[in-house]
Amino acid sequence: MKIRNVHSRELPVASERVGALIDDLGGANDRLWPTHLWPATPLELDGPLAVGTPSRQGLLPQTQIRQAVAEYEPGERLVFRFAPDLGIVGTHRLEVKSLGPKRTRLIHTLDCRLNPRMIPVYPLLIRQHDALVEDLLDRAELATTGAIADPARWPVSVRIANAVEERVARRLGKLPRRSRPGRGLGRAGGVGVPAVLVALAALHAAWALGWRWPGGSDRAFAERVLGSGATEAPPSAASWAVAVGLLGAAVIVGRTADERPSRALRLATWAVSGVFLARGALFIPVDLVRGFDGIYERLDLAIYSPLCLALGGGAAMVARNAARGGPSTASG
């Protein structure tokens, strides 16, 4: 499988300033590699930046990208070639192109071929790659201009994968444990709440398409998801509407877990939290009054309402963590 993937950013500075960022890559003064957002994926060199120097991306052997410097023209071009046994054959490179006295384009190009064994994980790998490169270009913009006009944002899949990798790295002692109270809960909410909401959206979409679980028949299904006495499944349009709403909530919470959420996103996350907390809190006393004879009431007390309370609480922690200025799924 052949891959050619290009990312670039135009910067309003002389090419020498951008080239200096490449020359410091992997060193003590590295201002380019986004380690602060990817703590489990640092760039490490086994020597000075020079042709033949081995390097690695990542702390975990299972996900580590091993490579070596194949070409290096100071201030202009840096090429890494992947290790032969990695399953990725080819290179990725950074290039500096002068567009004028105070205009420069920084380009990252992935040019490689995937071995068949790597093809199943390609969708996740390319999303990770794209997100990391955009963060690297953000760093270049910040280092040369002092600000980022349009910060890159991670898709939910990248948030989940990175949070898992970082958690494993901390458990294995490759990263220090976090000591700030409350941050861990906010991080967990930033990953777990969107993931559960996406799963629930998929479940409602399956219901809209005719899947009748739990229950099997329309009547049994209605009794379990709508309430005792219901005999017909909800209309497909209603299930689709709920699925879209859940996906929207997942996007809101996931983007609020970003390092730089807007005030509107924080308020929207508080609204998501309020809806789920209200749903869980209001239905519990109703179930208790009705008793435990109905199957819906038993399911609601055991699963539906507790899940809503958990989602509402998780969204609240994400919103609270964002208000404090701390990222929920990226290390700051």
The b/e string for 183-206 (b: 16+ C-beta within 10 A; e otherwise) is bbbbbbbbbbbbbbbbebbebbbe
- H-type helices in 226-326, by residue range? 236-256, 263-290, 295-299, 305-323
Amino acid at 52: G
Q: Is the pLDDT of residue 329 over 70?
A: no
Are 88 and 96 within 8 A, CB to CB? no
CA angle 111, 83, 80 (to 5 degrees): 50
Per-residue pLDDT tens over the stretch 49-66? 999 999 999 999 888 999
Instruction: With cut-offs at 50, 70 and 90, classify the pLDDT of residue 155.
Output: confident
- 263-290 vs 305-323: helix axis angle to the nearest 10? 160
Q: What is the average pLDDT across 133-150?
A: 95
φ/ψ of 327, rounded to 5, equals -70, 145
Pick 293 or 323 by higher pLDDT: 293
- Count CB neighbours of 107 within 10 A: 16
Instruction: Work out the mean pLDDT of the chain and round it to a whole number.
Output: 89
**Any idea how long the chain is?**
332
Q: Which of 131, 123, 128, 156 is nearest to 249 (CA)?
A: 156
Report percent pLDDT > 90 for the chain.
70
* pLDDT score of 177: 67
Instruction: With cut-offs at 50, 70 and 90, classify the pLDDT of residue 76.
Output: very high
Q: What is the average pLDDT across 150-160?
A: 86
Q: Is the pLDDT of residue 326 over 50?
A: no
Are 9 and 106 within 8 A, CB to CB? yes
Are 38 and 63 within 8 A, CB to CB? no
* pLDDT score of 187: 61
Per-residue pLDDT tens over the stretch 173-222? 888 865 444 445 556 677 889 999 999 999 999 999 999 999 889 999 99
DSSP states of 36-81 as a string? TT-TTS-EEESSSSSTT-EEEE-SSTTT-EEEEEEEEETTTEEEEE
* Tokens standing for residue 216: 């099997």
- Count CB neighbours of 321 within 10 A: 25
* pLDDT score of 244: 95
Q: What is the average pLDDT across 89-94?
A: 97
Per-residue pLDDT tens over the stretch 230-270? 889 999 999 999 999 999 999 999 888 865 678 888 899 99
Q: What is the average pLDDT across 284-309?
A: 89
pTM recorded for the entire structure: 0.60
Instruction: Return the half-sphere exposure (C-beta side, CA atoms, 13 A cut-off) of residue 49.
Output: 21
* pLDDT score of 181: 40
* pLDDT score of 178: 57
Q: Is the pLDDT of residue 279 over 80?
A: yes
Q: What is the average pLDDT across 323-329?
A: 50
Instruction: With cut-offs at 50, 70 and 90, classify the pLDDT of residue 287.
Output: confident
Are 3 and 124 within 8 A, CB to CB? no
* pLDDT score of 180: 43
Per-residue pLDDT tens over the stretch 5-31? 999 999 999 999 999 999 999 999 999
DSSP letter, residue 300: I
* pLDDT score of 331: 37
Give CA separation, 112 vs 68, 92, 121, 319, in Å.
Answer: 15, 8, 15, 40
Q: What is the average pLDDT across 261-280?
A: 91
* DSSP H or E stretch at residue 15: helix 15-23
* Tokens standing for residue 136: 């690297």
Per-residue pLDDT tens over the stretch 62-73? 889 999 999 999
